[in-house]
Every structure is written in C-alpha cells, then in structure tokens.
Structure 1
Amino acid sequence: MNDLSGLLGRVGERKDILLVVLLLAVVFMMVLPLPPLLLDILIAVNITISVVLLMMSVYIGSPLQFSVFPAVLLITTLFRLALSVSTTRMILLQADAGQIVNTFGSFVVGGNLVVGIIIFLIITIVQFLVITKGAERVAEVSARFSLDAMPGKQMSIDGDM
C-alpha cells in the first residue's frame, strides 16, 4: 500500500507525463481493436466525464475558476473521437458494438429502420450546421482580433523609427 501511495505521489508531481500517457492511450485506442467490455467501460466513462463537465460549466462562479476548460475540452474531444473510431471498427469487423451502443440504438430507433435513418439524417444535418457555424464564428473572432491588433503594431513600428 505504501508503494502505491508513493507511485501516485510521483505521478501527481509529474502531470505533464500523465497527459502524454493519456494522449498516447487515445492514439492507441484508434489503432488497436478494443474488446467490447472495455469499449462499454470507456463509453460509460465518457458519458460520466461529459455530465461532470456540463455541471461544472453550469455551476461555475466565474470563468477564471475553470481556466483549463479549453484544454479539458480538447482532450475529451480527442477521447470521444477515439471512442467513435473504436466503436465503428468494432461494428464493422465483429458486428458487435457492446451493450451500451446496442441498448442506446434500440432505445432511440425502437427497432424501426426508417425511423433510424430519419433520426440519423437529422442528427447529421444539425451537427454539420453547428460545426459550420462554430468554425465560421471562430474565423470571424480571429479576424477581429487580428484587425484590432494591427493599428497597435503599426504605431509601435512608427515609434521605433
């Protein structure tokens, strides 16, 4: 038990190495096939993390209290991408996606193929529109920051001459 606490203490001191190990694990999830039980566990962990992040962002007092949110969001997005790739591989290769995907699919579709296709099309269109509008907004904000910074740069160049 003492060895375990010493190991956890050393890992806590080196959080950068822990981040690298987690990112490597995500990459290996995309490359190596996962067993259905492990896939179910990882999907449950993903849902739990999503709910926790949602609750934290809703109940946070000020944005500075959760300043690591963009980094956490990026890492969880990579984790979700790896889960999607692993789940798709499992469905295509073994026709088995695990119990969570099977249960969720039968709950949403209800055993009707036409309803499933329509729901899939609606989700795909909405997701495409959200991603497109989000990327457009990011580009607009980036352009505004660049334009706002330009007069200051010109003034500093003129001041140096």
Structure 2
Amino acid sequence: MQLTQATEPLAPSLEESLVDIVVGSTQLNRLAGVLGDIDLPHAVMRALGTLDEYGPLRISDFARIDRCSQPAATTLIGRLTEAGLATRTKDPHDSRAVVVTLTPAGRDRLAAARTGLGSSLAAHLPDFDPARLARLQQDLNDLVEALKAVTTTRR
C-alpha cells in the first residue's frame, strides 16, 4: 500500500495571473455598468477616460488605443465634440490630421460620472473592508504603472 502525500496547489503562473486580472477587470467594468448609476454610454465614458489619461490625441492614435476602427473613432469623437466634451483642432505638425482634446466640460463630466459610479457601487458593498480596497487599488496602480513603463520603452 502506497501512501500519497497531499500537495499544495501550484501557484498560478505569471501569465495565468495576468489573464485572471484582465478578465476580472473586464467583469468588474461590466458589473459597474449594470450596478452603477451612470447616464453616459460606455463608449463615451471610455473615450473621455482615454482623452483624460493620454491628453490630446490624433484620431488615428485614439483609434489604436481604443482598439476601434478609424471611422468608429471619428464618429465617437464627433459625438463628444457636438456635446462640447472634446474639441477637434488641426494637428500643428500635420495639417491633414486632427487632434482631439478633452474640454474642461468633458473633464468635469467624466469626474461627475466617476464620482456617481463610486457612490453607487459603494452602496452595494457597505460591509466591504475599505483597507482591502485601498490595497487592491494600490496593487492595481502598481501593475498599471509597470505596464506603462514597458509600453513607453517599446515606442
């Protein structure tokens, strides 16, 4: 009779952990859309967030970052400019190109939507440990900054 020794489960690989984090972030984002009290369409919120994070962008760069087609980016940016949330100006380095910039109204609208999102999600998690959320936020920020550093060196 051979006795088998119980073994601890193997820790997930770096790749598996990163996939799980990306999938979890996507699920959290979808749940936030369902549970959050936001009156902005997801695409508009995402576009405002992209312009807030990256600053002024050419439409082609916006499309690459947002992973959409240039015609889709042009349509979305058109909606933002019509609403006064972004402006389109000629690229000073290439008169054929357009640069899109978040307006103060766009920045305010994004901040208000994010605040509303945080408030409505917090209402669904009244007993969730704030210190745990703070650790999660810090870990996520560290991961994002590490990936941004790699992205910057690859360009």
More helix by share: 1
Q: TM-score, normalised by structure 1?
A: 0.30
Greater RCO, 1 or 2 (C-alpha within 8 Å, sep 6+): 1
Structure ID, larger Rg: 1
